[in-house]
Each structure stands twice: as C-alpha cells, then as structure tokens.
Structure 1
C-alpha cells in the first residue's frame, strides 16, 4: 500500500530518438540485486572528464521528462548522468524504498567504476523524492556537492503533511532524511518554494537547520512544488550554477 501511494511511474513516455541530443547516450546499469536500470549520460568530451552531476528525479513521470533539466545542468560545464529508478521508463522491476536506494548506489558505482569519475568530482542532485535517494547514498561518501530541490524530511512527516495521518504507522521510519543528513560530508544546497503545496517549505528549513556542514538555502518566493524554475529561473538556475562552480 505504501509503495502504491508513493510511486507513480511512467513506463511509456519517451523522447523520439531524433530529439535526443547527440551528446546524450543511453547506458544500462546492473544493480546489486539483479535489476537493470536505464540512464542517459550527457557527455562533453569522452577524452577529457568534466565534473559529473548524477540526477535523481521525483516520484512521478520518468527520466525523459527531465531531459530539459539535464541539458541546463550540462550547459554549466558538467557532464550529467540522468538516472531512472526500477519500474520507471525502461528499467526493470518495481519501485520501493530499499530498491531505489540500491538503484542510486548502483548508479554511483557505475559512475566511479565504469565511467571513471572520482567521488570528489561528483555532485549529487535530488528533487523531491529523489532528495531522499540523494541523501541516503551520500552518507559516508566524499561527493563534492549535494543539491536538494524541494526535499522531504521523512515519510512519516509527509503522511501528516498530506493529511494522511493514518499512514504514519505504515510509513514507519521510511525516507528519514532528517536522521541521515549529518552522515553527509558534502557541501549542501537546498532550494525550496515558500508556497510548496506537496512538500512543505518547513521541511527544507528543518533539513537546512539540522545539517552541521557547509550549507546554503535558497527560497523561491511564491514557488510551489513543480514551478520553481518557471517562477524565478534566474535565481533557481543561477544559484545552482554558482554553487557548483
């Protein structure tokens, strides 16, 4: 029941091949528990590594819906690994909390072991539910940056925020980013809209207050959950670019 209320995967939407940038190539990542997840690598120069951003999206749609975001990040002189979770787009399996953490870890291992990036050259980007994946996999690692867009504190607090208090028992200790945040050694950027109707703004504030390392929080005034880049693109993209340079 919890997974059905958490994940809204799209297995069918895709971009026509002719519209995929020439610098973006499809990669298949084998997970430690036998699934195969789809990803795209946006690469500047195969002979000279740029810094890498690994992008984890939210709970709906699939990676094809994030191509525009990946291109914006690519234009900041970074390579981008855009990752699909199990059960999304062409990835095998069904999504669940443990599984998407495995997917995230497998993507990082692929980037370091197969693609040759060093941890301190990597920034982890997580949006909404993807922030929980980003925080989980960044624990006890040496990634350069951790970028969290509309991040949630925990599954239990999300149940309350959605008016589904009866699910707090089912949620248990799931997606508990607040508990994990100080296992991070990266520089942290949090961007949140103060009118977010899905993941309340105070969740981003609580994560920011809880983190003891280098951190920055950017508030998009009037921003809701899915429109931050439209409400104030100069601040949204500009602050990300400044942070990662």
Structure 2
C-alpha cells in the first residue's frame, strides 16, 4: 500500500509540474524601479483581465523618430534594468516602448507563458494604433528571455513590422532549461512541449529583416543557441558577434549595434 501511495503522489506531483510549465522558474520580476535619467519618457498602462501591465514610452530629441522599437526585456528586473540597452538607439533617433509584463515593475499579477503571449499581442495591437506610432516603421527587440515573445509576435504580425532584433536570446524555454539541467532534458522537453519556441517561430518570419546579437563569452545563454536561431532564420538576416558577457554588446560596440539596427530599415 505504501508503494502504491508513493507512486500516486509522484504521479500527481508530475501532473502539477507539467501543467505549471515551470513558469516560476523562468520569470524573476522585481518591483523596485531604478531612476531613468537623461531620457524623456511617458508612463503607459493597459488593463488585462484583473491586472494591469505598464510600459514606458521613451522619445528621442528629434521631432520625427527613425522608427519605433517595441522592447521586451529579460527574465529578471524590470524596464528600468534595461534602459542602458536602448539609450544609444534613442540618442540615434529611435523611439522605444519598453513593456513590463505582469509582476514586473508597476505591473500587477504574476507572469506565465500563456498570459505573456496574450498580453504581448494586446500590447502590440494597442501601441501600433497610436497616432505617434502607426505612421512609423516598427521593430521588435527581444533581449534574453524577451526573445521568446518577440519572435512569437513577429511570426504572428510579420506583415505589420519592419524587423526583428534578437539580443542574447535563448532558442527555446526548453533549450535554456536543459542547458542548466541536462540530466532532466527529456522531462523538461515534455513539460514545455506546448510552449512557443523562438527556434520554431523564427522559421515563419520569411522576408522579415532580422538581426541576431550574440557573444561567444555569454555565461547565461550558450552561443550555440544563437547559432541555431540564425540557422533557422531565412534571409534577410545579420549576425553581430561581440566578446563581452550577456546583453553587453551595446557597451562594447554601441556604434555597431546602432548601425545594424538602422540596416533593418533599408
């Protein structure tokens, strides 16, 4: 009887594990916002279900922006943790909208793979209809974990955007989890089998200009995942390599990053 009870308990725990899709292992939000200095920005909020997601709309000094970048940040922190990545682009004339999904910064609720995808599309629909956005070219920028939703939205909205930027992005939720827990790869892959994967979504962005930014010295996302993303992507595409750690291309090669982003618009 004890053996049967133990097996039943393990079965129930396994079902809970699979249903949860390990959301809490991927999203590590922080509520406290750092000061955002030397940039003009507007606070935005959007109701979703019983929660609210927030964003900041950062404007360049130029009256007419070169394009609009919708920026999706990584697993930790909040929008204020990633403003260093977009400042050179704002200085170059791009306007940037950075979103905090549920649980991050001023946004309420708890992030899950499902609500991030749903909220991401709703956010995209509302932002791109704004008067100060709808007559501009739109680029999606996914940093680290944000690569998953950015690529997913690019697949769905391919004809509404002008380019996709993947900076230090993992090839899938399952791939990055397996990289850190290789002994549990088969279990992880089963648990996350139904979750959108950038390495698959990127295959459906034909004709969309794409930029991939990766470092061989990245200690967070294996360089091989960047190679896989690039291999799965169709032309036109660019690959920008740098040598610093995760998401630090803009500190090592700010001019090269800006130039590569500008090339998406040509």
Q: Same fold (TM over 0.5)?
A: yes
RMSD of equivalent CA atoms: 2.5
Using structure 1 for the length normalisation, give the TM-score.
0.87
Residue of structure 2 equivalent to 1:147: 165
Give per-residue Cα distances to partners, 1:200-242, cap 9 Å, x unaligned.
Answer: 111111111111231111111x332243333444434443344
Alpha-carbon contact 1:149-1:192 (below 8 Å) kept: yes
Give the 3 Å change call, closer, same or farther, for CA 242–180 of structure 1 in structure 2.
closer
Single out whichever of 97-106 and 141-150 deviates more from structure 2.
97-106
Give the 3 Å change call, closer, same or farther, for CA 241–51 of structure 1 in structure 2.
closer
Residue of structure 2 equivalent to 1:219: 241
Matched residue count: 240
Equivalent residue for 2:90, pick from 42, 51, 74: 74
Does residue 169 of the first structure (1) align with residue 185 of the second (2)? Answer: no
C-alpha separation in 1, matches of 2:102 and 2:62: 27
Unaligned runs of 5+ in 1: none
Using structure 2 for the length normalisation, give the TM-score.
0.80
Deviation (angstroms), 1:81: 0.6
Partner-residue secondary structure (3-state), 1:197: coil
Residue of structure 2 equivalent to 1:30: 47
Partner-residue secondary structure (3-state), 1:30: strand
Give per-residue Cα distances to partners, 1:75-125, cap 9 Å, x unaligned.
Answer: 121111111111000101101111111222122112122345238710011
Alpha-carbon contact 1:37-1:91 (below 8 Å) kept: yes
Give per-residue Cα distances to partners, 1:141-197, cap 9 Å, x unaligned.
Answer: 221010000111112211221125423332334341111112224210000001222
C-alpha separation in 2, matches of 1:204 and 1:82: 23
Give the 3 Å change call, closer, same or farther, for CA 158–119 of structure 1 in structure 2.
farther
Does residue 9 of the first structure (1) align with residue 29 of the second (2)? Answer: yes
Deviation (angstroms), 1:44: 4.0
C-alpha separation in 2, matches of 1:89 and 1:217: 31
Equivalent residue for 2:212, pick from 190, 197, 202: 190
Single out whichever of 156-165 and 229-238 deviates more from structure 2.
229-238
Give the 3 Å change call, closer, same or farther, for CA 70–234 of structure 1 in structure 2.
closer
Unaligned runs of 5+ in 2: 1-19
Equivalent residue for 2:108, pick from 75, 84, 92: 92
Deviation (angstroms), 1:59: 0.4
